[in-house]
Structure 1
Amino acid sequence: MLEICFSDPVKACLAIAQHCGRDATGGAFAVITDKKGLAGWLLKHRAQREFKRREAELQKIAAPLGGSREDLVGLSLGLSEGDIRAPLRADVCPRKDCLRQMFALDRYGEGDLLDGVDALWDACMADLQKLDPPPAAVRVWLDDLPDSRCGLLFLADLLDGRGTAFHVVELPETIVREDGVTVEYRGWGEVEPQRFGTFLDRERVLPAGEVGQLAERWRQLKEENAPLRVVEQGKVISAGLDYYDEKIRAEFPAASCRVADLIGRALGRQKIPTGDAFIAGRVRHFIESGELILTEQRPGAGFYGAAVTRRR
């Protein structure tokens, strides 16, 4: 069975989830601190000890999915934004151009990430080839992020009526961890790989009629070909680029703040289900329209290091 997801980080998690278990090793952690000497060493030591403790707990519940990397299909196409009517092509394609715009953002002065676009696109096209001829069954890892919901509709349109069984594992809004803590996940990319297999009891097979309805919805969205697609009450609808603007405005600073802080609050407090690059684009729009004023642009700090304030 092919394991299908709609983002590169989730594909990486699935690769680990295939073979995780009690004897698995790996993982990484980072400590950001300005403490030096003994205080810094103690902080890192405590973080390492906590990391190892959490890893050991995760290994106890790990449920490997099995399979190999060849069974993984990552359709990281960003289908919630941009032109979806034009056919996908390996070389020149509006969809690839849309991804290129996302990667072109100079976030922290590190320069754009355009070198990664071709590699990501080639990987997506190679994974897409795994669906031709149509497989007997696919398992879709679905969450409520617009890219994921659009991905399911795209997949249904691609395979509708071709004999492929659709198994779907839908991420719940919250889970209660073993220590009693309730965790809210935005998407599969935030779930520890060891937990993926523990969600298989939620797997369901979509009836052929439901797959047909999903395919028809995608065809409608392609005809509309709006600049943005969003999820309302579980349904994907077409929208304008300004759809999330009021939520972003709710986080405009009373005083000056870094663009990164504004984006972080929009993602975290307003729970806008997009990537940071989309919100950064809207912040640029607000600067150009005069709703936000650029108060500082430090050399080498990138756009996220710039400071903005609301117009009085």
Structure 2
Amino acid sequence: MMDVVFSRSACGSLKMAQHYGQGEYTGTVGVIYAAPQGGQGAAPAPQVQQAARQAAEQRARREWENARPLGGDPANVFSLEGGWSMGDIAESQFPQGRRRLLERLFAASFSGSPEEQEQIIRESLDELQANLQTVLERSARGEEMRIWYSDNPDDACGLCWLLAKLHGLETPGPVTLIKLPVWEYGEDETVMAYTGWGEISPGEWGRYLPLAQPARPVLLRACAARWQQLQRENAPLRVCLNGGLQSVPENFYDGFILRELDRLPEEFLEASLVGNVLGRCQLGIGDSWIALRIEAFCREGLLEVVQDGPGIRRRLRQCTADGNF
């Protein structure tokens, strides 16, 4: 069986999940302490650090002991990460449309050299094309495929795109779908809400197996028709609204960014704004698109760069209503 996800982080976690929990626990943990407001102040007391390490160790051991290993071969886990909710998705523009999207996103958020950027883009596209070819060929031979998806925009679009590809095969193999729940109960009377499979730890994947549902040919046909419609519209963005995919304009997320901007002082680090949007709004998108829209705000005069820096490490200043600073 093949396992397919739509992000590299989910792919890495799923590969570990195949044998996570087998044998005696031998793991190690690390604890990261958040700096106080302003980044100043002493580190936590030694007894506080020790208690945090012990609690983390207990959680890790408990997860290992309670894990349900999936089994299988990591070579059968494939990531089809392509940023399918963003940019040009016209069939005739694959993979060029993905390249143009990555170049735009990297220009707004990447802190490495142009050579490093080009290498990452090239490797990402090569991996995407190779994985796609492999899963389609193996499905055409009748092999079963299990697809893990969520309401995350890239997952929802990736699922529709992939099912459309499978519909194009003469006789695709069986397809099983597992959708990440919108919410679920955690420990100590907490409620957990995830934005994608990349947030699921290796020991947790097995408990979602009972959620598996077969994807019947009628679903493949419906997704193929919907994806073709989205391709014709070819909007800058696609989002999942009320369970369905919709084309939306490039500024769709701007309201969330502006709301978090109102919480910040006149001068602020760009990374703070990006982090607040991702943390508070839980949009299921990455930092690159937020950085891209912040760059548009700078061009439009809503923000000014006070101190330049690599990626999203710039210091910015807000404009007043009359356009002054």
TM-score (structure 1 length as normaliser): 0.88
Letter of the 1:101 counterpart: R
2:228 aligned with 1:227, yes or no?
no
2:181 corresponds to which residue?
172
1:206 corresponds to which residue?
215
Structure 1 residues 220 and 174 mapped into 2: Cα distance closer, same or farther (>3 Å)?
same
Structure 1 residues 84 and 201 mapped into 2: Cα distance closer, same or farther (>3 Å)?
same
Q: Which runs of 5+ in 1 are unaligned?
A: none
1:260 aligned to which of 257, 267, 271: 271
CA contact (8 A) 1:77 1:99 kept: no
Offset, 1:13: 0.5
Letter of the 1:59 counterpart: W
Question: Counting helix residues as a fraction of each chain, which structure ranks higher?
Answer: 2
1:71-90: CA deviation from partner (whole Å, max 9, x where unpaired): 1110011111111114476x
Structure 1 residues 42 and 56 mapped into 2: Cα distance closer, same or farther (>3 Å)?
same
CA contact (8 A) 1:63 1:197 kept: yes
Same amino acid, percent of matched pairs: 29
1:215 corresponds to which residue?
224
1:304 corresponds to which residue?
313
1:4-31: CA deviation from partner (whole Å, max 9, x where unpaired): 0000000001111111015354465342
Offset, 1:220: 1.0
CA contact (8 A) 1:18 1:67 kept: yes
1:19 corresponds to which residue?
19
Give distance in 2, aligned partners of 1:210 and 1:188.
22
Q: CA RMSD in A?
A: 2.4
Q: Which runs of 5+ in 2 are unaligned?
A: none
CA contact (8 A) 1:259 1:308 kept: no
Give distance in 2, aligned partners of 1:207 and 1:302.
44
Offset, 1:151: 0.6
Structure 1 residues 26 and 11 mapped into 2: Cα distance closer, same or farther (>3 Å)?
farther
Give distance in 2, aligned partners of 1:94 and 1:27.
42
Offset, 1:105: 3.7
2:89 aligned to which of 84, 90, 95: 84
Offset, 1:214: 0.9
2:43 aligned with 1:52, yes or no?
no
2:124 aligned to which of 120, 123, 130: 120
Letter of the 1:255 counterpart: P
Letter of the 1:2 counterpart: M
Aligned residue for 2:98, secondary structure, equals helix
Structure 1 residues 190 and 243 mapped into 2: Cα distance closer, same or farther (>3 Å)?
same
1:97 corresponds to which residue?
100
CA contact (8 A) 1:290 1:311 kept: no
> Would you say how many aligned residue pairs link Structure 1 and Structure 2?
306
2:247 aligned with 1:238, yes or no?
yes
